[in-house]
Amino acid sequence: MAATSTNDLKTGMTLDLPEGLFQVVEFQHVKPGKGGAFVRTKLRNIRSGNILDKTFRADERVEQAVVDKREMQFLYRDGADYVFMDNTTYEQITVPPEALGDAVNYLVEGSSVLLQFYRDEIIGTDLPAAVELAVTETEPGVQGDRVSGARKPATLETGLVVQVPLFVNPGDRIKVDTRTGEYLTRA
Protein backbone atom coordinates (compact mmCIF):
# COMPACT_ATOMS: atom_id res chain seq x y z
CA MET A 1 0.00 0.00 0.00
CA ALA A 2 1.16 3.49 -0.77
CA ALA A 3 0.67 6.41 1.59
CA THR A 4 -0.42 9.56 -0.20
CA SER A 5 -1.02 13.14 0.87
CA THR A 6 -4.55 14.53 1.14
CA ASN A 7 -3.31 17.37 -1.11
CA ASP A 8 -2.95 14.80 -3.92
CA LEU A 9 -6.49 13.34 -3.70
CA LYS A 10 -8.34 12.88 -6.98
CA THR A 11 -11.91 11.87 -7.81
CA GLY A 12 -12.14 8.08 -8.20
CA MET A 13 -9.10 7.36 -6.03
CA THR A 14 -9.56 4.46 -3.58
CA LEU A 15 -8.45 4.92 0.04
CA ASP A 16 -7.94 2.31 2.77
CA LEU A 17 -9.08 4.14 5.92
CA PRO A 18 -9.62 2.73 9.42
CA GLU A 19 -13.41 2.96 8.74
CA GLY A 20 -13.08 0.75 5.64
CA LEU A 21 -12.39 0.96 1.92
CA PHE A 22 -13.60 4.23 0.33
CA GLN A 23 -13.64 5.85 -3.10
CA VAL A 24 -13.29 9.64 -3.39
CA VAL A 25 -16.51 11.05 -4.89
CA GLU A 26 -15.54 14.70 -4.56
CA PHE A 27 -12.99 16.77 -2.70
CA GLN A 28 -12.38 20.44 -1.98
CA HIS A 29 -9.16 22.03 -0.77
CA VAL A 30 -10.04 24.88 1.64
CA LYS A 31 -7.61 27.53 2.89
CA PRO A 32 -9.42 29.77 5.37
CA GLY A 33 -8.05 33.19 6.36
CA LYS A 34 -7.39 31.98 9.89
CA GLY A 35 -6.02 28.58 10.82
CA GLY A 36 -4.56 25.81 8.71
CA ALA A 37 -5.75 24.56 5.36
CA PHE A 38 -7.88 21.43 5.15
CA VAL A 39 -9.40 19.08 2.58
CA ARG A 40 -13.15 18.41 2.72
CA THR A 41 -14.10 15.13 1.03
CA LYS A 42 -17.16 13.09 0.16
CA LEU A 43 -16.28 9.39 0.22
CA ARG A 44 -18.34 6.36 -0.89
CA ASN A 45 -17.92 3.10 1.01
CA ILE A 46 -16.99 0.47 -1.60
CA ARG A 47 -18.71 -2.40 0.20
CA SER A 48 -21.95 -0.77 1.42
CA GLY A 49 -22.30 2.23 -0.93
CA ASN A 50 -22.86 4.64 1.98
CA ILE A 51 -21.55 8.20 1.64
CA LEU A 52 -19.22 9.62 4.30
CA ASP A 53 -18.30 13.30 4.63
CA LYS A 54 -14.79 13.52 6.08
CA THR A 55 -12.41 16.41 6.63
CA PHE A 56 -8.64 15.93 6.61
CA ARG A 57 -5.87 18.34 7.57
CA ALA A 58 -3.90 19.56 4.57
CA ASP A 59 -0.93 17.30 3.80
CA GLU A 60 -2.25 14.53 6.11
CA ARG A 61 -1.05 11.07 5.05
CA VAL A 62 -3.70 8.48 4.08
CA GLU A 63 -3.31 4.95 2.74
CA GLN A 64 -4.16 4.62 -0.94
CA ALA A 65 -5.59 1.21 -1.81
CA VAL A 66 -4.02 -0.37 -4.87
CA VAL A 67 -6.90 -1.56 -7.05
CA ASP A 68 -6.04 -4.10 -9.74
CA LYS A 69 -8.29 -4.06 -12.82
CA ARG A 70 -8.45 -7.26 -14.86
CA GLU A 71 -10.36 -7.84 -18.07
CA MET A 72 -12.55 -10.90 -17.64
CA GLN A 73 -15.03 -12.65 -19.92
CA PHE A 74 -18.37 -13.79 -18.52
CA LEU A 75 -18.72 -17.48 -19.43
CA TYR A 76 -21.89 -18.80 -17.79
CA ARG A 77 -24.03 -18.88 -14.65
CA ASP A 78 -23.45 -21.66 -12.15
CA GLY A 79 -26.59 -21.66 -10.02
CA ALA A 80 -26.75 -18.15 -8.57
CA ASP A 81 -23.02 -17.50 -9.14
CA TYR A 82 -21.29 -16.11 -12.22
CA VAL A 83 -18.22 -17.74 -13.77
CA PHE A 84 -15.60 -15.48 -15.36
CA MET A 85 -12.39 -16.25 -17.25
CA ASP A 86 -9.30 -14.04 -17.04
CA ASN A 87 -8.45 -13.02 -20.63
CA THR A 88 -4.68 -13.24 -20.05
CA THR A 89 -4.20 -16.31 -17.81
CA TYR A 90 -7.39 -18.21 -18.82
CA GLU A 91 -7.99 -18.86 -15.10
CA GLN A 92 -11.67 -19.21 -14.17
CA ILE A 93 -13.21 -17.68 -11.06
CA THR A 94 -16.70 -17.98 -9.58
CA VAL A 95 -18.23 -14.72 -8.36
CA PRO A 96 -21.35 -14.30 -6.19
CA PRO A 97 -23.93 -11.82 -7.57
CA GLU A 98 -23.54 -9.55 -4.49
CA ALA A 99 -19.93 -8.75 -5.55
CA LEU A 100 -21.11 -7.62 -9.00
CA GLY A 101 -23.92 -5.31 -7.85
CA ASP A 102 -26.04 -3.83 -10.67
CA ALA A 103 -23.68 -5.23 -13.33
CA VAL A 104 -25.63 -8.52 -13.27
CA ASN A 105 -28.43 -6.74 -15.18
CA TYR A 106 -26.12 -6.20 -18.17
CA LEU A 107 -24.09 -9.43 -18.33
CA VAL A 108 -24.69 -11.83 -21.22
CA GLU A 109 -22.56 -14.88 -21.96
CA GLY A 110 -19.39 -13.94 -23.81
CA SER A 111 -19.36 -10.28 -22.73
CA SER A 112 -16.15 -8.69 -21.42
CA VAL A 113 -16.01 -6.78 -18.14
CA LEU A 114 -13.25 -5.07 -16.17
CA LEU A 115 -13.36 -6.47 -12.63
CA GLN A 116 -11.74 -4.37 -9.89
CA PHE A 117 -9.79 -6.39 -7.32
CA TYR A 118 -8.48 -5.22 -3.96
CA ARG A 119 -6.22 -7.98 -2.70
CA ASP A 120 -8.36 -11.07 -3.55
CA GLU A 121 -11.75 -9.37 -3.18
CA ILE A 122 -13.85 -8.04 -6.06
CA ILE A 123 -14.88 -4.49 -5.15
CA GLY A 124 -16.48 -3.33 -8.39
CA THR A 125 -16.98 -3.63 -12.11
CA ASP A 126 -16.34 -1.35 -15.07
CA LEU A 127 -18.94 -1.92 -17.74
CA PRO A 128 -19.03 -0.30 -21.17
CA ALA A 129 -21.26 2.82 -21.32
CA ALA A 130 -23.91 0.91 -23.30
CA VAL A 131 -24.66 -2.77 -23.92
CA GLU A 132 -26.71 -4.51 -26.59
CA LEU A 133 -29.42 -6.81 -25.22
CA ALA A 134 -32.28 -8.77 -26.77
CA VAL A 135 -35.91 -8.09 -25.83
CA THR A 136 -37.50 -11.35 -24.64
CA GLU A 137 -40.95 -10.11 -23.69
CA THR A 138 -43.03 -6.97 -24.30
CA GLU A 139 -46.57 -6.05 -25.26
CA PRO A 140 -47.16 -5.48 -28.96
CA GLY A 141 -47.41 -1.83 -29.99
CA VAL A 142 -50.88 -0.74 -31.04
CA GLN A 143 -50.99 0.30 -34.70
CA GLY A 144 -51.67 4.03 -35.01
CA ASP A 145 -50.81 4.71 -31.35
CA ARG A 146 -47.88 7.03 -32.00
CA VAL A 147 -48.15 9.47 -29.12
CA SER A 148 -44.75 11.15 -28.78
CA GLY A 149 -42.80 9.68 -25.89
CA ALA A 150 -45.22 6.79 -25.25
CA ARG A 151 -43.41 3.93 -23.53
CA LYS A 152 -44.08 0.34 -22.52
CA PRO A 153 -42.15 -2.07 -20.26
CA ALA A 154 -39.90 -4.65 -21.90
CA THR A 155 -38.11 -7.59 -20.27
CA LEU A 156 -34.57 -8.17 -21.57
CA GLU A 157 -32.56 -11.40 -21.82
CA THR A 158 -30.86 -10.69 -18.46
CA GLY A 159 -34.20 -10.19 -16.67
CA LEU A 160 -33.87 -6.39 -16.54
CA VAL A 161 -37.10 -4.48 -17.24
CA VAL A 162 -36.75 -1.15 -19.09
CA GLN A 163 -39.19 1.31 -20.62
CA VAL A 164 -39.01 1.22 -24.43
CA PRO A 165 -40.86 2.99 -27.27
CA LEU A 166 -44.01 1.35 -28.66
CA PHE A 167 -42.32 0.15 -31.88
CA VAL A 168 -39.95 -2.25 -30.06
CA ASN A 169 -41.02 -5.92 -30.37
CA PRO A 170 -39.89 -9.21 -28.81
CA GLY A 171 -36.69 -10.44 -30.49
CA ASP A 172 -35.42 -6.92 -31.24
CA ARG A 173 -31.95 -5.98 -29.99
CA ILE A 174 -31.68 -2.67 -28.16
CA LYS A 175 -28.90 -0.61 -26.61
CA VAL A 176 -29.22 0.12 -22.88
CA ASP A 177 -27.22 2.72 -20.93
CA THR A 178 -25.41 0.83 -18.12
CA ARG A 179 -25.16 3.93 -15.88
CA THR A 180 -28.88 4.77 -15.85
CA GLY A 181 -30.51 1.54 -17.05
CA GLU A 182 -32.46 3.40 -19.74
CA TYR A 183 -33.24 2.51 -23.36
CA LEU A 184 -30.99 4.32 -25.86
CA THR A 185 -31.76 3.01 -29.34
CA ARG A 186 -32.51 -0.07 -31.43
CA ALA A 187 -29.38 -1.97 -32.44
pLDDT at 2 over 80: no
The pLDDT tens digits of the residues spanning 137-149 come to 988 766 665 666 6
10 has a pLDDT exceeding 80: yes
The model's pTM is 0.72
Same fold, 2-64 and 130-186: no
CATH class of 2-64: mainly beta
Q: Which is it for the CA torsion 146, 149, 152, 154, positive or negative? A: positive
User: Which residues sit opposite 74 in a β-bridge?
Assistant: 84
pLDDT of 180 higher than 70: yes
Task: Express each pLDDT in 61-96 by its tens digit.
Answer: 999 888 888 899 999 988 889 999 998 899 999 988
The CATH fold assigned to 68-126 is OB fold (Dihydrolipoamide Acetyltransferase, E2P) (2.40.50)
CATH code reported for the domain at 130-186: 2.40.50.140
Structural domain boundaries in the chain: 2-64, 68-126, 130-186
For 100, the enclosing helix (H) or strand (E) is helix 97-100
Across 84-109, average pLDDT: 89
Query: In the chain, what is the greatest distance between 2 CA atoms, to the nearest angstrom?
Result: 70
Identify the CA nearest to 133 among candidates 177, 165, 95, 78. Answer: 177
Ramachandran angles phi, psi of 13, nearest 5°: -70, 145
